[in-house]
Structure 1
Amino acid sequence: MAMKVALLGCGAVGSEVVRLVDEQRSELATRAGTALEIAGVAVRRPERARGLPIDPALFTTDAMELATRPDVDIVVEVIGGIEPARSLTLAAIKAGKSVVTANKALLAEDGEAIHSAARAAGVDVYYEASVAGAIPLLRPLRDSLAGDRVQAVLGIVNGTTNYILDRMDSLGAGFAESLEEAQSLGYAEADPTADVEGFDAAAKAAILARLAFHTEVSAADVHREGITEVTAGDIASARDMGCVVKLLAICQRSADGSVGVRVHPAMLPREHPLANVNGAYNAVFVEAESAGRLMFYGAGAGGTPTASAVLGDIVAVSRNRLAEAQVVDSGGNGETRRVHPMGETVTRYHVALDVADRPGVLARVADVFAGNEVSIQNVRQVGHGEDAQLVIVTHMAPDAALGRTVEQLRALDMVRSVASVMRVEAFNDQ
């Protein structure tokens, strides 16, 4: 008997899922242990979907009826957003359906409720496609590293911002110019806010942290900064330091057992493996106590790569249902760890100050750093007169201490402006 799959949404990802199920029917049946059959496709406007290579009889506008239909085994949610995806997902779980989703925003906001409902109903929730597209990342964190202690997960998980920053670094292009190019190539949406302001990466960081540290982490726990304030001067300063600017998702376990989860642009040494991830590609770097350092790299978005991850989850869920087994979610139901605020995060900083070019300026600036117990690693002056700029790189310091330092620097009469503050991540010395 075939495993019947209900598809909620039929955009770039959903239509590719249907195509792949049709093209690989016999291979998928062998891998899943039974044939896979699309039982229905829920869309808001069937007339717009008529041009897709899908039997029109499968289309329905009643997503709730499809998600809870008695003959359906697996519900695939590729609608995106919070509602109606949340209501449909929870209803499907309550009706005994296993769920496959690519919805990072929903998982980051309501992951605990969804997984609790799945455990109670004895069904699976798989979501490999929610982070880094086709890259097999979440299952290794959940399963392969279940016997290890993950210390850190850091990565480039948004292809749009990586493309923009790569163009700024390699061609000397500005942010606006690079964004426009990304939009023309289809790497960025017409409204790029979710990408360039870090919302997309923050949702993914919450999912990664939950799996890596076996504790509940929501999007609200993630410190988030985007790339809209990154300037050509930041890119040039990074280059002078042997670094490159990347938007990083960073999840770290601290010595006291708490965890920190953050998304922000940072200067990364060019010898680090993530520094060489170019274009719209994604990569995630994992540090585990026993396994050591692991790297996952590949296409992080797009209809076909994401559909590949969705289909892999469908096959895995099908096997579980045939075996009457449920994968125990090892995310947030094992440990309770404190997610510490950004102020407790310790890292290095690059601070650029537009200053008056007169005696005593450096001493006053150094006093402010010392007064907040932020140690200076090196300092250099760029330009003279009205164009004078002090560029300071610190040793490791708490984010809160650096924040106080910057506020006090802004109050000095010889500091015309704080031109830039950017973190410098050197993971080999943490």
Structure 2
Amino acid sequence: MTKTVGVGIAGLGTVGAGVVELLRKNGDRIARRCGSRIEVAAVSARDRARDRGVDLAGVTWHDDAAALAADPAVDIVLELIGGSDGIARAVIDAAIAAGKPVVTANKALLALHGSEIAEAAEAAGIALAYEAAVAGGIPIVKAMREGLAANRISRVYGILNGTCNYILTEMAASGRDFNDILADAQRLGFAEADPTFDVEGIDAAHKLAILTSIAFGSAVNFEAVHIEGIANVAATDIAYARELGYVIKLLAIARQTPNGIEQRVHPCMVPAEAAIAKIDGVFNAVVADGDFVDSTVYVGRGAGAGPTASAVVADVIDIVAGRQAPIFGVPSADMSRFEAVPMARHVGCYYVRLVVYDRPGVIAEISAVLRDERISIDSLLQRGRSENEPVPVVMLTHETEEAAMLRALEAFRRIESVIEPPRIIRIEEF
């Protein structure tokens, strides 16, 4: 007789309802793959009356989500509420205290408290799984933690937010500015009513902090992530990028350097022929560089009911089948505390756009600033020749330290002929 494993689902939003549907639709296939039938035993959500499009007949309802852990019919607790603290943390703490495995899709909670929670789960001898917390339907956690376990990872980077990728893709296709495309994305359901976490890069930074821990065997350190969003990327910048052979993407990058580990999320200009440049729309992509495998690329949908539910249930299957790896790739006791490289020490090439009055001597003033900071120009574009009319000046630099670039930007602001705040975008050559 096939054993039945009961799951308790805390949170019945898009993902929670997707998990219920997936378990009902593919239950027989799942049972053959893990040797047990997985059924929804209990649920908890704020509104019992809401129609979620799934059949919950015969399922126990708990008004207190944390009470799921004490339900004797629940063998595995699924935390699908979200949020870095509050009831989501209470559900996980209750499950650990009850000795029940936990599956979560909560990147914010793991980014801020992941090391602490992993230590508690290990001490209790239970599994904590979170494939759905990073890149939705892409099995990147399993790929990096298990598939690449024999490799020394030097860099992991990618597109980790589908909302931002959709907006930048549509800006490039239409020539329209950020605010117009954001409004479209909200109407289409690709962006939240409050898109702050997405467009300011915070969502991608949560995911990067988790990937960094897996890649480098280090404690999760969200505070060390440098974060910039896409609101300041103009259609003008995208047009210049195309002319110069680049595409603008919001990238999350973690890299081992001689000085420590960089963690950064910001818009990047990447060569148009690079694999990452070709990932458009709401898709996510992750690239991991290992010493024996070279570059490995993973592409898929990073959000939505189906992809995220797929990742959640995959974790449940692993737990039921007895497959368990160290939560962040190494035991908590062996996780290192890495030296975080401040953004001012980043070394790279830059795109710089100034808007200036076209007056004699203005290029000489700009050049003098760059000379003083020892920044070398790779190429320069200047359009327009009407004296005392605003014109753009676009430069690509050779490699320089970010601190020097920031000093140069401050000096540009003091030039009388520069009439708009200077814009920079970092260049990444992959």
- Name the aligned partner's letter for residue 300 of structure 1: G
1:118 aligned to 2:121? yes
Kindly provide the CA deviation profile for residues 259-305 of structure 1, in whole angstroms up to 9, marking residues without a partner as x: 11111111111011011111111111111111101110011110111
CA drift of 1:193 comes to: 1.1
Which stretch of the first structure deviates more once superposed, 46-55 or 151-160? Answer: 46-55
TM-score (norm: length of structure 2): 0.94
CA drift of 1:340 comes to: 1.2
Aligned position for 2:244: 241
Conserved 8 A contact 1:77-1:103: yes
Structure 1 Cα separation of the partners of residues 119 and 351 of structure 2: 43
Give the secondary-structure state (helix, strand or coil) at the position aligned to 1:245: strand
Aligned position for 2:276: 274
Q: 1:53 aligns with which of 45, 55, 60?
A: 55
Structure 2 Cα separation of the partners of residues 414 and 114 of structure 1: 54
CA drift of 1:190 comes to: 1.2
1:328 aligned to 2:340? no
Give the secondary-structure state (helix, strand or coil) at the position aligned to 1:338: coil
- Name the aligned partner's letter for residue 9 of structure 2: L
Structure 1 Cα separation of the partners of residues 325 and 369 of structure 2: 54
Give the secondary-structure state (helix, strand or coil) at the position aligned to 2:405: helix
Q: 2:413 aligns with which of 410, 415, 420?
A: 410
CA drift of 1:49 comes to: 4.7
Kindly provide the CA deviation profile for residues 108-129 of structure 1, in whole angstroms up to 9, marking residues without a partner as x: 1110111011110111111111
Conserved 8 A contact 1:206-1:219: yes
Structure 2 Cα separation of the partners of residues 104 and 394 of structure 1: 36
Aligned position for 2:369: 368
CA distance change for structure 1 residues 101 and 50 in 2, over 3 Å: closer, same or farther?
A: closer
Structure 1 Cα separation of the partners of residues 402 and 102 of structure 2: 40
Structure 1 Cα separation of the partners of residues 398 and 22 of structure 2: 51
Structure 2 Cα separation of the partners of residues 215 and 141 of structure 1: 14
* 1:215-254 mapped onto 2 (5 Å cutoff): 215-254=218-257
Conserved 8 A contact 2:318-2:324: no
- Unaligned 5+ segments in structure 2 are none
1:166 aligned to 2:169? yes
Conserved 8 A contact 1:382-1:388: yes
CA drift of 1:426 comes to: 1.1
Structure 1 Cα separation of the partners of residues 183 and 73 of structure 2: 47
Kindly provide the CA deviation profile for residues 48-71 of structure 1, in whole angstroms up to 9, marking residues without a partner as x: 257631116422212121123344
Conserved 8 A contact 2:66-2:87: no
Give the secondary-structure state (helix, strand or coil) at the position aligned to 2:114: helix
Structure 2 Cα separation of the partners of residues 49 and 106 of structure 1: 28
Structure 2 Cα separation of the partners of residues 189 and 328 of structure 1: 34
- Name the aligned partner's letter for residue 367 of structure 1: A
* 1:17-416 mapped onto 2 (5 Å cutoff): 17-49=19-51, 52-55=54-57, 57-82=59-84, 83-256=86-259, 258-320=260-322, 326-329=324-327, 330=329, 333-384=334-385, 385=387, 386-416=389-419
Structure 1 Cα separation of the partners of residues 225 and 70 of structure 2: 34
* Pairs aligned (count): 422
Kindly provide the CA deviation profile for residues 183-233 of structure 1, in whole angstroms up to 9, marking residues without a partner as x: 121111111111111111111111111111111233221111111111111
Give the secondary-structure state (helix, strand or coil) at the position aligned to 1:306: helix
Kindly provide the CA deviation profile for residues 367-394 of structure 1, in whole angstroms up to 9, marking residues without a partner as x: 2112222222122212223122221111
CA drift of 1:326 comes to: 4.4
CA drift of 1:419 comes to: 3.9
- Name the aligned partner's letter for residue 48 of structure 1: R
CA drift of 1:171 comes to: 1.5
Kindly provide the CA deviation profile for residues 285-344 of structure 1, in whole angstroms up to 9, marking residues without a partner as x: 111111101110011110111101101000001112xxxx74223256433311211111
Give the secondary-structure state (helix, strand or coil) at the position aligned to 1:418: coil
Identity rate, percent = 43
Conserved 8 A contact 1:352-1:418: no
CA drift of 1:72 comes to: 2.5
- Name the aligned partner's letter for residue 122 of structure 2: R
Structure 1 Cα separation of the partners of residues 372 and 106 of structure 2: 46
CA drift of 1:32 comes to: 1.5
Structure 1 Cα separation of the partners of residues 337 and 63 of structure 2: 41
Structure 1 Cα separation of the partners of residues 73 and 276 of structure 2: 46
Aligned position for 1:12: 14
- Name the aligned partner's letter for residue 395 of structure 1: H
CA drift of 1:253 comes to: 0.8
Which stretch of the first structure deviates more once superposed, 69-78 or 161-170? Answer: 69-78
Large movers: runs of 4+ above 4 Å: none
Structure 1 Cα separation of the partners of residues 357 and 17 of structure 2: 60
Structure 1 Cα separation of the partners of residues 126 and 90 of structure 2: 17
Structure 2 Cα separation of the partners of residues 53 and 357 of structure 1: 67
Structure 2 Cα separation of the partners of residues 376 and 174 of structure 1: 28
Q: RMSD of the TM alignment (CA)?
A: 1.6
- Name the aligned partner's letter for residue 33 of structure 1: G
- Name the aligned partner's letter for residue 166 of structure 2: Y
Give the secondary-structure state (helix, strand or coil) at the position aligned to 2:176: coil
